[in-house]
């Protein structure tokens, strides 16, 4: 089971924005550790966070607990669970067309050409967050070409990925955000009532 914690905030600018996002991310992580595992560090700084080879953070004292944090303008998300996971959240906004060649597979570019222009931004960030959640779950950073991973939706809404052995879930959140999460394994990712909370 993976639990998602969310925090919305008033978007500031510059260094204060980054500091606020990091503070909120850590606050969400601490809340999840307490609620899900009964872990309450006496001081926030006592939580030992280490980095893997490509910079993915993990809990030094609790390697069996996996987590990942993402933030964008006005929103911070933290996923916590017992499996390797990656999470990405983005605000839907205009994007630069040339980036498609670096991010989208051929099939995804063809799909972009088929949909209405007013749907392009949402489609771009749906694909982008899925790919970001995968590379974050894998802990490899962007060391693999994003064009090698491809996504498509079947007519019934089922999401298909070209990479075997991983599960994805995606939500469009209030306020114009796309949230994607990836876990390793074939188990379904559940957003049960109460698993998406705010702080």
The domain containing residue 101 runs over which residues? 2-198
Given a contact cutoff of 8 angstroms between Cβ atoms, the answer to whether 177 and 75 are in contact is yes
Looking at residue 193, what is its pLDDT? 46
Q: How many distinct structural domains can be found in the chain?
A: 1
Looking only at the bridges linking them, the beta strands covering 85-91 and 177-184 are antiparallel
- Cα gap 159→46, rounded to integer Å: 40
Question: Token digits for 187?
Answer: 């188990």
DSSP labels for the chain? -EEEEEEE-----HHHHHHHHHHHHHHHHHHHHHHHH----SSGGGS-EEE-TTS-EEETT-TTSEEEEEEETTEEEEEEESS-EEEEEEE-----GGGHHHH--HHHHHHHHHS-GGGHHHHHHHHHHHHHHHHHHHT--S-S-GGG--EEE-TTS-EEESSTTEEEEEEEETTTEEEEEEEESSSPP---TTTEEE-
Per DSSP, what are the bridge partners of residue 66? 81
Looking at residue 12, what is its pLDDT? 66
Looking at residue 20, what is its pLDDT? 87
Looking at residue 195, what is its pLDDT? 55
Residues of the chain with pLDDT under 70: 11-15, 43-45, 142, 186-199
Length of the chain: 199
Q: Three-state secondary structure along 90-113?
A: EECCCCCHHHHHHHCCHHHHHHHH
Looking at residue 11, what is its pLDDT? 67
Q: What is the CATH number of the domain that holds 30?
A: 3.90.470.20
Looking only at the bridges linking them, the beta strands covering 57-59 and 151-153 are unpaired
How does pLDDT run across 73-97, given as a tens digit for each residue?
Answer: 889 999 999 889 999 999 999 998 8
């Amino acid at each position: 089971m993976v639990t998602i914690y969310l925090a919305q905030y008033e978007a500031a600018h510059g260094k204060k924005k980054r500091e606020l996002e990091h503070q909120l991310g850590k606050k969400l992580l601490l809340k999840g550790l307490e609620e899900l595992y009964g872990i309450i560090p006496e001081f926030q700084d006592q939580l030992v966070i280490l980095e893997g080879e490509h910079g993915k953070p993990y809990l030094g004292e609790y390697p069996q607990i996996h987590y990942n944090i993402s933030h964008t303008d006005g929103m911070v998300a933290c996923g916590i669970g017992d499996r390797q996971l990656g999470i990405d959240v983005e605000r839907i906004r205009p994007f630069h067309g040339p980036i498609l060649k670096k991010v989208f597979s051929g099939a995804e570019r063809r799909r972009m050409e088929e949909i209405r222009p007013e749907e392009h931004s949402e489609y771009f960030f749906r694909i982008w967050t899925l790919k970001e959640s995968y590379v974050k779950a894998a802990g490899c950073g962007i060391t693999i070409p994003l064009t090698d991973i491809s996504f498509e939706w079947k007519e019934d809404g089922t999401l298909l990925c070209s990479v075997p052995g991983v599960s994805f879930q995606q939500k469009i959140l209030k306020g114009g955000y796309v949230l994607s999460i990836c876990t390793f394994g074939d188990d379904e990712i559940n957003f049960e009532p109460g698993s998406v909370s705010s702080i």
